[in-house]
């Protein structure tokens, strides 16, 4: 991982530029990165996409955090247009291009690489379509072959469209899993910074990704949700403990640090802090022990800031900011993408709503315990919480009441991954949030239901929807 982020930036720049001249080219310098070099950059790249500006904005939109200055302050009042150009142009789609390169180079001879790349690509595309809706998908990431890719419909991205030649995300994941079962001339080892080349763990991650995709479309395709989740349960090969989580490791050394730490404790230390709304939310859940794992408690006191407020923020030394669970002590915390607690909450919701296998209450409690354990709470602390809060840790009331409890706990567990919390909020309406103070943007009365498209993409690609959907318009699977 030494200087790995520099390598990510270098390869990203290389893969997104045109080749204009061949003069003054050093014949001893490689211009074609092999899969073993590309794989760690795509792994770090996906984590960076998830946890950098996109994740920061999502964490503010779901009111884990509040903006104080700079970009976070804009996110907090829904001033979003033109904000995510770099994430679209230089983070997300270059990673997808490099994943396509890995797949093209290894699909025939070393499908272990191709299978991992397909799982990563499905995850990366899910970020894109979940945040923006219709996006370049089937024609994206192919370099100069297609310079103005089609914007595929979100429904087609998830489910596929044979008439248009679109392979859906579910089938992309299944194809990746099938690749992992094939004989492979070479397999990742240390270049796989997630699972160290352990194909068995990648299969579990792939099947857990199917669970994530399935629950995401539950509002619009409940039959698909039930079918996919039932199939994964039958396979009995998915993440079932915290040690199997799909997460990307970072380190304390400069340039190798967790991107959330690099922002909050590196170059933009004054711009965001814990939302006072989230603080009150956690107090109502009597869940301040876990909260102290998520956020700092300066001088023994939690200090939040109201979303969209324009009063003077607390002194920086008094602000509650991300704590060790999210950022580590010096930036070494991983970015968590698919987790055991997520799997348990998905299965709890599915069992409750669709009758898939499992007891909803047992799965719900499993999710809470998995999250608390992952944050570093002791068994004694967890047991005390369960004993002291029976109405919180047991599902009660109507089916919708129970669903609200499940998503509420999932929302809490996702501190540090705002995108996943934002997805669930837009899919279920839980938790029930109130728009920020002093909001502006497309509709100050509605927490944005999608991100606005890239303005640079609109200038160079006539296929981008015009006029763009407003941020108060739901995506295909949303409410």
The predicted model gives 470-474 an average pLDDT of 98
Is residue 3's pLDDT more than 90?
Answer: no
Is residue 472's pLDDT more than 70?
Answer: yes
Answer whether residue 250 is part of any domain.
yes
Q: What is the pLDDT of residues 364-384, one digit of tens each?
A: 999 999 999 999 999 999 999
- Average pLDDT score over the chain: 94
pLDDT category at 144 given cuts 50, 70, 90 is confident
Check which CATH number belongs to the domain holding 202 and give it.
1.25.40.390
- What span, in angstroms and rounded, lies between the C-alpha atoms of 116 and 72? 34
Q: What is the pLDDT of residues 65-123, one digit of tens each?
A: 999 999 999 999 999 999 999 999 999 999 999 999 999 999 999 999 999 999 999 99
Q: What is the predicted pLDDT for the residue at 25?
A: 42
Is residue 342's pLDDT more than 80?
Answer: yes
Answer whether residue 352 is part of any domain.
yes
Answer whether residue 10 is part of any domain.
yes
Domain that holds residue 448: 4-15+34-254+333-460
Answer whether residue 28 is part of any domain.
no
Is residue 207's pLDDT more than 50?
Answer: yes
Q: What is the pLDDT of residues 161-196, one digit of tens each?
A: 999 999 999 999 999 999 999 999 999 999 999 999
Answer whether residue 11 is part of any domain.
yes
The predicted model gives 472-479 an average pLDDT of 98
> CB atoms < 10 A from the CB of 70, how many?
12
Q: What is the predicted pLDDT for the residue at 10?
A: 43
Answer whether residue 427 is part of any domain.
yes
Q: Say how many domains are in the chain.
A: 1
Report the Cα 214 to chain-centroid distance in Å. 15
Share of the chain above pLDDT 70, in %: 94
Q: What is the predicted pLDDT for the residue at 5?
A: 52
Answer whether residue 395 is part of any domain.
yes
The predicted model gives 202-221 an average pLDDT of 98
Q: What is the pLDDT of residues 248-305, one digit of tens each?
A: 999 999 999 999 999 999 999 999 999 999 999 999 999 999 999 999 999 999 999 9
Answer whether residue 290 is part of any domain.
no
Q: What is the pLDDT of residues 23-78, one digit of tens each?
A: 344 443 445 789 999 999 999 999 999 999 999 999 999 999 999 999 999 999 99
């Amino acid at each position: 991982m030494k200087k790995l982020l520099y390598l990510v930036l270098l390869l990203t720049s290389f893969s997104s530029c045109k080749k204009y001249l061949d003069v003054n080219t050093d014949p001893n310098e490689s211009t074609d990165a092999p899969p073993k070099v590309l794989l760690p950059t795509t792994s770090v790249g996906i984590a960076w996409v998830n946890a950098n500006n996109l994740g920061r904005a999502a964490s503010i939109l779901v009111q884990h955090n509040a903006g104080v200055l700079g970009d976070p302050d804009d996110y907090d009042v829904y001033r979003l247009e033109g904000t995510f150009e770099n994430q679209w142009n230089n983070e997300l789609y270059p990673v997808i291009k490099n994943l396509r390169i890995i797949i093209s180079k290894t699909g025939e001879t070393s499908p272990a690489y191709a299978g991992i790349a397909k799982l990563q690509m499905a995850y990366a595309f899910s970020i894109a379509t979940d945040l923006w809706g219709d996006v370049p998908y089937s024609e994206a990431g192919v370099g100069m072959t297609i310079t103005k890719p089609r914007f595929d419909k979100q429904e087609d991205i998830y489910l596929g469209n044979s008439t248009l030649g679109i392979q859906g995300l579910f089938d992309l994941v299944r194809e990746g899993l099938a690749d992992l079962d094939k004989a492979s001339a070479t397999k990742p080892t240390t270049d796989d910074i997630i699972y160290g080349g352990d194909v068995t763990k990648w299969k579990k991650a792939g099947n857990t990704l199917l669970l994530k995709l399935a629950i995401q479309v539950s509002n619009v395709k409940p039959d698909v949700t039930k079918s996919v989740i039932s199939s994964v349960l039958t396979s009995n090969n998915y993440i079932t403990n915290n040690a199997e989580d799909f997460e990307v490791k970072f380190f304390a050394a400069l340039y190798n640090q967790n991107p959330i730490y690099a922002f909050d404790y590196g170059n933009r230390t004054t711009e965001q802090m814990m939302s006072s709304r989230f603080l009150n939310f956690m107090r109502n859940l009597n869940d301040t022990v876990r909260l102290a794992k998520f956020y700092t408690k300066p001088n023994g006191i939690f200090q939040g800031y109201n979303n969209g407020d324009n009063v003077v923020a607390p002194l920086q030394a008094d602000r509650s900011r991300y704590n060790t669970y999210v950022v580590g002590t010096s930036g070494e915390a991983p970015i968590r993408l698919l987790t055991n607690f997520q799997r348990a909450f998905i299965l709890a919701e599915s069992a409750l709503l669709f009758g898939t296998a499992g007891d909803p209450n047992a799965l719900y409690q499993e999710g809470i315990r998995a999250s608390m354990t992952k944050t570093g709470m002791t068994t004694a602390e967890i047991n005390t919480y369960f004993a002291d809060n029976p109405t919180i840790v047991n599902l009660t009331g109507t089916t919708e009441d129970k669903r609200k409890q499940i998503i509420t706990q999932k929302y809490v567990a996702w501190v540090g991954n705002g995108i996943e919390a934002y997805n669930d909020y837009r899919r279920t309406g839980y938790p029930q949030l109130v728009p920020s103070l002093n909001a502006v943007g497309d509709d100050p009365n509605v927490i944005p239901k999608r991100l606005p498209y890239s303005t640079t993409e609109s200038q160079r690609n006539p296929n981008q929807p015009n006029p763009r959907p407003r941020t108060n318009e739901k995506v295909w699977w949303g409410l």
